[in-house]
Structure 1
């Protein structure tokens, strides 16, 4: 928004008053009528926008951690490398897990052989059904222990949960991996979203599905839809976390800083076409149609709304302003309105 210096406000008001009630210049009154287009000063209820900061992030993002302890034997990926879903990212060497798998497999084999033998003997009447059932239970337990050991062995390989890019590496080959400690961070290559914190005083005016205006660093602006909104506020920051979905062609990239405009209360504002306002040095002015003649009016402008300029001072609702004033238009000159 544009805000003139406070020192200029009395002068602006005085000049506006003089232009409204001052005598009509005789020279301008003698000029031929200027052909112009007029537009009414519109009064609308517009929301007050509060600016909050946000960060662009991929919709898919994962920080991968170890589930077993061991030495990192192989780390074949590099920062910035693209990977496909299921690609191996890291290998942990854990000899005790290998030994546990070998032991569980041997026990399962022994239990299976004992069960097969007793089943043959039972068919020949040389064994009992109770012994066979006991061996079946032992074989089931041994197989369960084998599956558990093989699952633990699977934890020694870290694989990509989705297609993406390696954006952070917390370890190197030879480091010790411990359960719960992050090893790699992966970001998806698909949709992006904006993460922001909305002040809890404004959270009531925002709901899932709303479109908010977003402004990027380069000045580009675009809408973003509220996809997720937390039901609880952060007790320290006094903000509510929101995630905004953005279009695939939005002019932003992962990690970029953006500004999100959050609406709050609505206020009455006056709007005129942007082409009705012209600059004279540091002053802004419009021509008003009054009694068939041009009246020069100094104004104070605010923001823009759909190609129209907000007028903070100098005009009243319902007045008619000249759109794209012709060159040489003067105070007091007769006007001919184009139809």
Structure 2
């Protein structure tokens, strides 16, 4: 039997030798580095409230759509978009000639009834009239007084004033337009008092009540803080299965009506891994944590979750019982010797 001997190509040997030499150099370089003094902590499961984020919209507490109540021509709109107004300021003036004529007609009829009643009372005192006639004229006077009051009320609707202090946020009509009952004219909002309107999922409803504090987060960074639920619908929407809620914001919060907000709620308790936020470092967009294996640093890629004060939740990359580096005297590299304080 003949033996077959295979010889490796010289080029393969030459390529392998530098790679092995480089790996050996890196290991020797790491091993020769002096140990870095570190402070560590043991990873353990903790019970925390699960946090749920739901969308919300900034809206004013006081908002009104100004609509016409009578038919007429819009004569004057002395306000513009963004203008601040006070309660009672004129917003729209409508010309309604028919209503003005009805007021004059009703007032004339009332004046005639008053004169007739006065004359009959004099005749009654002289015995030339009857009490039934006087009573009928008194009833007629009261009826005409009601007619005048109704006509004057309709005439007052031609002069529309601001229901509260606020800012004009929408202007639908222009001077010369024909107004009709129910037609939208303007919108006014009180921007000094704002709230977040949101819908709470029914699974979280048992944990929420009026007065519950929640966290409000503005994606643009204008303002982040805690606020209390001021209103909560007693029943769920049958379509979305959510409960409408309103969250009162502190006065002078630097946000505007219509902006998007996130509302963070505390849900049911869950077990989670929490570590000090200082233990997590960034390498580009990669989140990493160093653990201690023996007397060396071991690099772990992690995925973080919700922040709880000065601690952060770890969703992946660590297990309970791991020893992590919280602080180090100098930046660490994978495999570097460490000395625990």
Q: Note the C-alpha offset of 1:242.
A: 1.8
SS in structure 2 at match of 1:107:
helix
| Contact map agreement 2:39 2:340 (CA 8 A) in 1 | no
Q: Note the C-alpha offset of 1:32.
A: 6.8
Q: Tell me which moved more, 120-129 or 142-151.
A: 120-129
| Contact map agreement 1:60 1:190 (CA 8 A) in 2 | no
Work out which of the residue numbers 90, 109, 132 in structure 1 matches 2:92: 90
TM-score (norm 2): 0.80
Q: Distance in 1 between matches of 2:320 and 2:145?
A: 84
Q: Distance in 1 between matches of 2:252 and 2:161?
A: 30
The within-5 A match list for 1:36-75 is 36-41=38-43, 43-75=45-77
The within-5 A match list for 1:19-38 is 34=37, 36-38=38-40
Q: Distance in 2 between matches of 1:170 and 1:238?
A: 35
Distance verdict in 2 for CA 1:54–1:283, change over 3 Å: closer
Work out which of the residue numbers 311, 315, 322 in structure 2 matches 1:312: 315
- Indicate yes or no: 2:86 matched with 1:81: no
Larger relative contact order (C-alpha < 8 A, sep ≥ 6)?
A: 1
Equivalence for 1:274: 277
Q: Note the C-alpha offset of 1:113.
A: 1.2
The within-5 A match list for 1:111-150 is 111-150=113-152
The Cα offsets for residues 170-211 of structure 1, whole Å up to 9 and x where unpaired, read as 111111111111111011132111122333444443322122
The Cα offsets for residues 120-160 of structure 1, whole Å up to 9 and x where unpaired, read as 23233333222222211111111011101111111111110
Work out which of the residue numbers 290, 294, 310 in structure 2 matches 1:286: 290
Q: Distance in 2 between matches of 1:313 and 1:257?
A: 30
Equivalence for 1:7: none
The Cα offsets for residues 29-64 of structure 1, whole Å up to 9 and x where unpaired, read as xx5783x54445453322333332222111110001
Q: Tell me which moved more, 163-172 or 307-316.
A: 307-316
Q: Distance in 2 between matches of 1:104 and 1:89?
A: 28
Equivalence for 2:168: 166
- Indicate yes or no: 2:338 matched with 1:333: yes
Q: Tell me which moved more, 115-124 or 172-181.
A: 115-124
Q: Note the C-alpha offset of 1:328.
A: 5.6
Equivalence for 1:323: 326
Equivalence for 1:257: 260
Distance verdict in 2 for CA 1:80–1:333, change over 3 Å: closer
| Contact map agreement 1:276 1:325 (CA 8 A) in 2 | no
Q: Distance in 2 between matches of 1:142 and 1:174?
A: 34
| Contact map agreement 1:51 1:260 (CA 8 A) in 2 | yes
Q: Note the C-alpha offset of 1:238.
A: 4.3
Equivalence for 1:198: 200
Unaligned runs of 5+ in 2: 1-29
Distance verdict in 2 for CA 1:284–1:149, change over 3 Å: same
| Contact map agreement 1:72 1:93 (CA 8 A) in 2 | yes
Structure 1 or 2, whichever has the larger Rg, is 2
The Cα offsets for residues 85-116 of structure 1, whole Å up to 9 and x where unpaired, read as 00111111111111111111011111111112
Equivalence for 2:229: 226
Distance verdict in 2 for CA 1:203–1:33, change over 3 Å: closer
Equivalence for 1:296: 298
Equivalence for 2:4: none
TM-score (norm 1): 0.81
Equivalence for 2:23: none
Pairwise CA RMSD: 2.6
Q: Distance in 2 between matches of 1:249 and 1:160?
A: 22
SS in structure 1 at match of 2:254:
coil
Length, aligned pairs only: 307
